[in-house]
């Protein structure tokens, strides 16, 4: 049985850890409110932008807009958007797992795979594969639209140079405080309206007159569209990270309380045993004096 001093030291250490995890939980909760409000405020903008792009791209051709060109897929680029910091449970691990799973599936089909990492945790894990083309770290804590523009511009330039034939973006979609789902979406080539949606698009098109021409508008909107997609993913990751960290720290605090309770029982047993031994020594000494 451990000594009283050892058990007491462990209890004090766990209590200090509990104070840290509780403080981190409170900080994450405060940051989550701001991140969630920002993300939810941007979602309608992203949705309307998607509708506008669907409407405009209905009659577009790849000759007019190279970013819409569908080529034979020989090279795939996967953009993994993770957090820069850890201590958020399995959140980052789930995105990394999804990225590796998709990479293996494409490689099994004979396609070349490269990674672009947005966030330090994704880079630290995926860099071991030797397939990371570019990384963006230490930007998630205070990311802005210009960060998204930098990422989107690089991805578009690489696609136009023919270095990648398909680009997918992987991130954690925020569903609720308790649920963040690893997901992915097509990024490049920019997808025009599918045949199934053409009737709806024609109906919407009748309500709008575009000035200047559709082509001129698309020239401006396509880069903005890519910026919006990346920025929305970064907003989702920001909210998901804080939610996952809040949950993880809450679980850690609860675990600390359980450990302290168990150690307290051990401490009381050790103290009782020590008192019993002292009493036995006293009784034994008294008997020896008789």
**Which residues are part of the catalytic machinery?**
88
Work out the widest C-alpha separation in the chain, in whole angstroms: 115
DSSP class of 42: H
What the block records as the tokens of 39 is 């993300």
> By the 8 A CB rule, do 84 and 139 touch?
yes
DSSP class of 135: E
Integer Cα distance of 210 and 216 in angstroms: 10
Q: Indicate the SS3 state at residue 125.
A: helix
- Residue of 78, 80, 83 lying closest to 104 (CA atoms): 78
List 235's β-bridge partners, or say none: none
> By the 8 A CB rule, do 139 and 210 touch?
no
């Amino acid at each position: 049985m451990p000594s009283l001093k050892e058990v007491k030291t462990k209890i004090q250490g766990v209590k200090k850890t509990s104070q840290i995890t509780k403080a981190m939980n409170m900080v994450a909760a405060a940051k989550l409110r701001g991140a969630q409000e920002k993300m939810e405020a941007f979602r309608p903008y992203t949705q309307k932008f998607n509708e506008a792009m669907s409407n405009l791209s209905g009659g577009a051709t790849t000759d007019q807009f190279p970013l819409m060109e569908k080529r034979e897929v020989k090279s795939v680029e996967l953009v993994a958007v993770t957090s820069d910091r850890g201590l958020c449970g399995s959140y980052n691990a789930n995105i990394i797992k999804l990225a590796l799973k998709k990479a293996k599936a494409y490689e099994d089909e004979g396609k070349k795979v490269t990674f672009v990492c947005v966030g330090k945790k994704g880079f630290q894990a995926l860099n071991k594969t030797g397939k990371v083309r570019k990384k963006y770290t230490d930007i998630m804590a205070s990311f802005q639209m210009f960060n998204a523009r930098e990422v989107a511009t690089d991805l578009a330039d690489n696609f136009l140079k023919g270095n990648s034939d398909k680009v997918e973006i992987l991130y954690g979609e925020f569903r609720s405080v308790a649920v963040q789902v690893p997901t992915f979406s097509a990024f490049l080539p920019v997808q025009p309206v599918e045949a199934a949606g053409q009737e709806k698009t024609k109906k919407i098109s009748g309500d709008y007159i575009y000035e200047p021409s559709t082509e001129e508008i698309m020239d401006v909107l396509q880069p903005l569209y890519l910026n919006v997609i990346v920025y929305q993913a970064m907003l989702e990751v920001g909210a998901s990270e804080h939610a996952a960290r809040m949950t993880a720290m809450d679980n850690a605090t609860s675990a600390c309380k359980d450990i302290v309770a168990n150690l307290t029982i051990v401490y009381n047993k050790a103290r009782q045993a020590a008192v019993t031994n002292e009493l036995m020594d006293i009784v034994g000494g008294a008997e020896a004096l008789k």
